[in-house]
């Protein structure tokens, strides 16, 4: 039997007693022989284990991220409440990895990629080692989520997998990335975005030996529009100019607002003959916009155009300087 005793100093000890009784011929107990062992350290260790287990279960059950425990045979042994909250699947829905993969990755080719990565991790991971993976998971409701998985190989041979929905984070990252290269007012690329993409396209032009045209565009009389009609009208003029440029040039061309009232366009896969076609198209589009009824101002643009010849390469800065000088030359003629 096990029991507790209270010592004179009010401390408690756990004891384990074992014994046997010796009886006479009539069955009366005449002696009792046994041992008593102090098992207090064992009991304290047992209580610590029970406490730690309960604490672990509480942490797992209330973890802010999904958890999945998979055994060596691929059977899913446990998913915590957060996993079900995030993705809709209960343990009954996904008894094994095969079922989970079929539901979570319904597209065949993508599912094969995920399984290949999972098999590689199972083979390569050492005990205690973890490896993050990011996949697009389809929830039970059919919604796609971007999920960050971290697989940990346990000493038992099992794999503990944490799952965190990072869809909002990724959307925010994309938004911030877009903001860093995009002009907020017009939706076109800003100077940084234009220079980054233009430099890439010039490298491609060098390889493919296909020329490009750089249009440097400045709005005429922008100050007068702001001074006479207000900055809202000035913003409207900038937006309209952006709309005109998107209508004239192709979607594959790089269109940007690079300064206050300055725009730039890199027309890809172009020749010197393309120049006249695009200028005519731009003039006609401006004419059509300015003929609309009820307009308070007229759109007028000064344009400088430089041709990039891959057989006689120059830097983007040089190309922009040439187009910029030509644009200002045209603007001077209008004064």
Over the stretch 44-91, which tens digit does the pLDDT of each residue have?
888 877 777 677 677 778 877 899 998 888 899 899 999 999 999 999
Mean pLDDT (the chain, rounded): 89
**Can you tell me the distance from the alpha carbon of 275 to that of 296, in angstroms, rounded to the nearest whole number?**
31
314 is written with which tokens?
């120059």
Position 323 scores a pLDDT of 95
In this predicted structure, the answer to whether residue 325 has a pLDDT above a threshold of 90 is yes
> Where are the extended beta strands (E) located within the chain?
2-6, 12-23, 29-38, 66-70, 76-79, 130-138, 144-153, 159-165, 212-219, 254-257, 262-267, 301-308
326 is written with which tokens?
């030509």
Q: How confident is the model at residue 313 (pLDDT cuts 50, 70, 90)?
A: very high
Tell the residue number behind the tokens 């529009």, with chain if given: 225
Position 118 scores a pLDDT of 86
Pairing of strands 130-138, 159-165: unpaired
Start-to-end Cα distance in the chain: 109
In order of start, what are the domains of the chain with their CATH numbers? 2-58 (2.10.70), 64-170 (3.30.450.20), 182-334 (3.30.70.270)
**Can you tell me the distance from the alpha carbon of 306 to that of 66, in angstroms, rounded to the nearest whole number?**
56
In this predicted structure, the answer to whether residue 192 has a pLDDT above a threshold of 70 is yes
Q: Within 10 A of 102 (CB to CB), how many other CB atoms are there? A: 12
**Can you tell me the distance from the alpha carbon of 47 to that of 170, in angstroms, rounded to the nearest whole number?**
44
269 is written with which tokens?
């896969």
57 is written with which tokens?
């279960």
The CA R_g of the chain, rounded to the nearest whole Å, is 37
**Can you tell me the distance from the alpha carbon of 197 to that of 215, in angstroms, rounded to the nearest whole number?**
15
Please state, for a pLDDT cut of 70, what percent of the chain lies above it. Answer: 99
Q: How confident is the model at residue 176 (pLDDT cuts 50, 70, 90)?
A: low
User: Considering all CA atoms of the chain, what is the largest pairwise distance in Å, rounded to the nearest integer?
Assistant: 136
16 is written with which tokens?
């384990």
Q: Within 10 A of 5 (CB to CB), how many other CB atoms are there? A: 12
């Amino acid at each position: 039997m096990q029991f507790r005793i209270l010592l004179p100093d009010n401390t408690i000890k756990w004891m384990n007693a074992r014994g046997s009784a010796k009886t006479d011929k009539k069955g009366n107990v005449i002696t009792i022989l046994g041992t008593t062992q102090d098992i207090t350290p064992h009991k304290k260790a047992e209580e610590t284990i029970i406490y730690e287990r309960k604490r672990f279960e509480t942490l797992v059950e209330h973890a802010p991220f999904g958890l999945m425990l998979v055994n060596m045979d691929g059977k899913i042994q446990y998913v915590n409440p957060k996993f079900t909250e995030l993705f809709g699947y209960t343990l009954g829905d996904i008894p094994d990895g095969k079922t989970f993969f079929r539901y979570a990755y319904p597209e065949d080719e993508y599912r094969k990629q995920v399984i290949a990565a999972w098999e590689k991790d199972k083979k390569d991971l050492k005990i205690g080692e973890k490896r993050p993976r990011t996949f697009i998971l389809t929830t039970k409701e059919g919604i796609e989520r971007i999920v960050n998985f971290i697989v940990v190989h346990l000493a038992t041979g099992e794999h503990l997998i944490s799952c965190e929905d990072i869809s909002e984070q990724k959307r925010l990252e994309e938004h911030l990335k877009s903001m860093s290269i995009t002009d907020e007012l017009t939706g076109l690329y800003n100077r940084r975005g234009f220079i980054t993409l233009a430099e890439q396209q010039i490298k491609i032009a060098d390889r493919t030996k296909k020329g490009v045209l750089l249009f440097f565009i400045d709005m005429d009389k922008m100050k007068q529009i702001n001074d006479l009609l207000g900055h809202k009208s000035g913003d409207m003029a900038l937006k309209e100019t952006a709309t005109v440029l998107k209508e004239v040039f192709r979607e594959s061309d790089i269109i940007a607002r690079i300064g206050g009232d300055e725009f730039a366009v890199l027309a890809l896969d172009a020749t010197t003959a393309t120049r006249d076609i695009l200028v005519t198209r731009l003039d006609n589009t401006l004419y059509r916009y300015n003929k609309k009824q009820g307009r308070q101002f007229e759109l007028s643009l000064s344009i400088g155009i430089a041709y990039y010849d891959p057989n006689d390469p120059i830097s983007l800065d040089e190309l922009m300087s040439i187009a910029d000088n030509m644009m200002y030359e045209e603007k001077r003629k209008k004064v």
